[in-house]
Structure 1
């Protein structure tokens, strides 16, 4: 386990304990240094203390570091609180002022935080809906949505797809009805209970959840277990995960269009955003460059090649010319 990953694991444990007791700590220092590139120093952000948060899965940690490197190049004093366990913990930390900025997904905001059961069709419309309502209800500002879309999906091995003929979620629903034993499905805890996860998907596709043999596994384990096809015939995946291609998994088509758009956007409390309007200008070109293909490759480098998230994020920022090496 590399230095950054050990630090991330320790941070996750400390954060989980802090959330359950007296709140998050102030965070650690930026793990790698950067210099200005196309992101030049911004006088209004010079030495401004900014705490950046993220969830604990690979893509979120990478996105958190991307924010940190961008704002560091702009001159801010960055505190690192990436790798927080669970969406609700990140949200609570931000609402209570323990983190200042994060990348959050529009679908998560709309369904999990705002309590809607039905997504808004279209990425732009979904962003605008969550932006307007979260500002009005909770004083949260959403800006700079990225084009990448990391939605949920179910996947299976190519062998299982060929044996069962299942390549869509409607066909998966039929298999559950006709032969539940052939449809053992592995999911992680959050997906198992979220309305934009398994319960909502089952309702849309007419699946009786009681007929589905579900195994609860950690997210990272599900991909390999699904590829092996023994413990997991089907598994929950994120559509931007580099392990899908590396393991030759077949993503089931969401033919009834249940899963919402999950475009990440910069989220800040209104008071913080109003005090530092320069942040949205700094982050806009960075978000614009975060396509599905780009983030999938970054995820692959971490999850398949074993590189460190901080190094991968900085390499990408340097390659894009946003920052330079010191």
Structure 2
């Protein structure tokens, strides 16, 4: 899965990004939906609005949820989901080509606003990025509980033999020979990645009493999940809403020291658009409380593991919870 925190944003390249890549959906198909908890907004009368998303699974599902919701609310929605990367999606919104998209609080704070470090507390991170981005004409609506951040997963069937490990502090309490890790190369070298995480938990990399370098396998993105599932390592770097967690039966360890920044997903709307149609906030207030880690793992898995179309997954979930019919 593409991730929300690895794409650098170089806004001087806005023109090239928007003309070269375009803001065009990979699939403009969206199932027709009728009112449910989301109903037509009086006075919208087919007002135009453009929805964007990045081009990895979770963003495609969220983008289609937004397209369906705003269509049911009465907008004439231009579907510009599947934008190739964080830089052009952000540039599209700043330039006015994108009215609304889902974004991650940590991405907004670290990537777009170039703050030096993230904020692990989810509500504090949201409030900080909301307040800071307001100066850019961008309004962050309240976030979902779902938090697509870094984590470490363990095979559920091995938890008992690892002493009931449930948190990263529990890993630090294990014998050195059981502290084996699989990580992808980008995370292994980040200044806020693997090595400082181990320092935070008191098991420094390269220390024979911490995590010897021979205990670490550096793999390509995606291979970490299967390697962890095979038992090549006890603990694999994962993302907390990835669909493979469920399909491979990997349990996410608690980051009990609060090392990883918060990446809660939130609807982000151009302030000009929101001022014109403040009811947009009411539409997403029906959706965001329903988006938990468990829900997103299931939706992402239906696409990545089950091979379903993101638009179908979005519509069927919205119908199942009564948002639309």
Q: TM-score range by the shorter chain?
A: 0.7 to 0.9
Q: Between Structure 1 and Structure 2, how many residues are aligned? A: 301
Give the alignment partner of residue 24 of structure 2, picking from 24, 27, 46. 27
Which residue in 2 is equivalent to 1:218? Answer: 221
Alpha-carbon distance in structure 2 between the residues aligned to 1:54 and 1:194: 25
Check if 1:308 corresponds to 2:309.
yes
Which residue in 2 is equivalent to 1:319? Answer: 320
CA deviation after TM superposition for structure 1 residue 92, in Å: 2.8
Point out where structure 2 has 5 or more consecutive residues left out of the alignment. 1-14, 207-211
Question: Could you say if the C-alpha distance between residues 188 and 303 of structure 1 is closer, same or farther in structure 2, counting changes exceeding 3 Å?
Answer: farther
Which residue in 1 is equivalent to 2:184? Answer: 187
SS at the partner of 2:19?
coil
CA deviation after TM superposition for structure 1 residue 268, in Å: 1.8
Check if 1:274 corresponds to 2:275.
yes
Moved more, 72-81 or 295-304: 295-304
Alpha-carbon distance in structure 2 between the residues aligned to 1:319 and 1:60: 20
Task: Give the number of the structure whose residues are more often helix, by fraction.
Answer: 1
- CA contact 1:30–1:79 (8 Å) conserved in 2: no
Alpha-carbon distance in structure 2 between the residues aligned to 1:201 and 1:216: 18
What TM-score results when the alignment is normalised by the length of structure 2?
0.77
Give the alignment partner of residue 145 of structure 2, picking from 147, 159, 171. 147
Give the alignment partner of residue 228 of structure 1, picking from 224, 227, 230. 230
Which residue in 2 is equivalent to 1:83? Answer: 82
Point out where structure 1 has 5 or more consecutive residues left out of the alignment. 1-17
Task: Map residues 153-302 of structure 1 onto 2, 5 A cutoff.
Answer: 153-158=151-156, 168-170=167-169, 183-187=180-184, 189=186, 191=187, 197-198=193-194, 201-202=197-198, 204-205=200-201, 207-208=204-205, 211=213, 213=216, 215-219=218-222, 221-230=223-232, 234-302=235-303
Question: Could you say if the C-alpha distance between residues 21 and 290 of structure 1 is closer, same or farther in structure 2, counting changes exceeding 3 Å?
Answer: closer
Question: Could you say if the C-alpha distance between residues 84 and 229 of structure 1 is closer, same or farther in structure 2, counting changes exceeding 3 Å?
Answer: farther
Alpha-carbon distance in structure 1 between the residues aligned to 2:125 and 2:294: 21
Which residue in 2 is equivalent to 1:39? Answer: 38
Over the aligned positions, Cα root-mean-square deviation in angstroms equals 3.3
